[in-house]
Structure 1
């Protein structure tokens, strides 16, 4: 099987536990960020590195949404209002210009628990939704079963990674609404590898989850990426690029 033209980076927002659901953050969101390999190599990575060189003088920094929002660790430079303003302008430009297609699934855990006597694992539900839609998208873009597409996720720990890989293999073997997915493969990457794609997925996951939780609340980050979701032929996002369940 030859390698496909695209690569997918994955991250999540919220936790997928069904006990002690946080009323302020009841949504688990899984985000697939699809890049053409050429655009990723030639455009996305250099732009991310340019931001790091400008604000830190090196590219060892890992962009992390939570740390940025809290101005912690390497991001304590953002405690300076002028630096923060300059950084927000740059990062918003970077996100707004991203040549990315987004597929996401958001599970409202409170509604999920209320609707089902034995609610399934939110991560497993979201993963199946995203893989199904990714497969449709790949088919639409000429990436058939003979072209291998890698899905990159961040390592969390051996037990968690083993469980995720097992579920991924189960879905890819046919436990989904689309059918077998022999062209999809999963790879786990350590954060220390400083993957730009995983950092982008991290930056996008939180605003998507917040949009689902409070759709009427101003959300500049979501506005920047809304046009990048997979859409139907009529331009519809919900159900195509963003699946909200239940």
Structure 2
């Protein structure tokens, strides 16, 4: 049995936007990190079946990954969303499903231009900053529920990015943050 198997909860996180401070997209100057935490039993009994029903309602299989960018751009498996008569039912079904699912959502958004304007060359990497803020709040959540472990799943992004994420995650676990001990 692995270390997180005894946890009452399971967590998933993903990001939206680019965390680079070197290039800031004026149309989307944000870096957003979101994490959901759901009870393990609820994930098994409610979340997975709901996602499967949604997917099989629109595709002949459940192997489709729900990527927000592909949905917004009506790209790849979501090309059918270019047709308004198909887009609305899908978005409606997805919204209804999400509204009905019991989970706790943590979101940290960094406006990169404002962050750079305020801190200049000393600005913390937005990914590190968002991860720190998010995990400080998650720690309070876990303490409030009497939990000490939490298995976390992150979307793979690429070897370099995944290595940076692992390093930031390990830094928080071993060194703590300004407001929480390791």
Q: Deviations over 1:127-166 (max 9, x none)?
A: 01111110100010111x3xx2111111222222222112
**Partner of residue 76, structure 2:** 73
Match of 1:92 in 2: 95
Query: TM-score with structure 2 length normalisation?
Result: 0.91
1:162-196 Cα deviation digits (max 9, x unpaired): 2211211111113311111xxxxxxxxxxxxxxxx
The structure richer in helix per residue is 2
Partner deviation per Cα, 1:186-232 (whole Å, 9 max, x = no partner): xxxxxxxxxxxxxxxxxxxxxxxxxxxxxxxxxxxxxxxxxxxxxxx
Question: Which deviations, in whole Å up to 9, do the C-alpha atoms of 1:24-50 show, x marking residues without a partner?
Answer: 211111111111111111111111111
Please provide the CA RMSD for this pair: 1.4
Q: Which residue of 2 aligns with 1:155?
A: 156
Q: How far did residue 80 of structure 1 move?
A: 2.8
Say how many residue pairs are matched: 177
Structure 2: distance between partners of 1:163 and 1:81: 40
Structure 2 stretches lacking a partner, 5+ long? none
CA distance in 1, matches of 2:167, 2:26: 30
Q: Does 1:130 align with 2:131?
A: no
Could you tell me how far apart the structure 1 residues matched to 2:12 and 2:89 are? 27
* Residues 67-125 of structure 1: CA deviation (Å, up to 9, x unaligned): 11221111122233222221121111011112110111111111111111321101001
In the other structure, the counterpart of 1:167 is 168
| 2:180 counterpart residue number | 178
TM-score, scaled relative to structure 1:
0.68
Q: Counterpart of 2:123 in 1: which secondary structure?
A: coil
After alignment, is 96-105 or 74-83 more displaced? 74-83
In structure 1, runs of 5+ residues without a counterpart are 181-246
SS at match of 2:8: strand
State yes or no: 1:12 paired with 2:15.
yes
2:29 aligned with 1:21: no
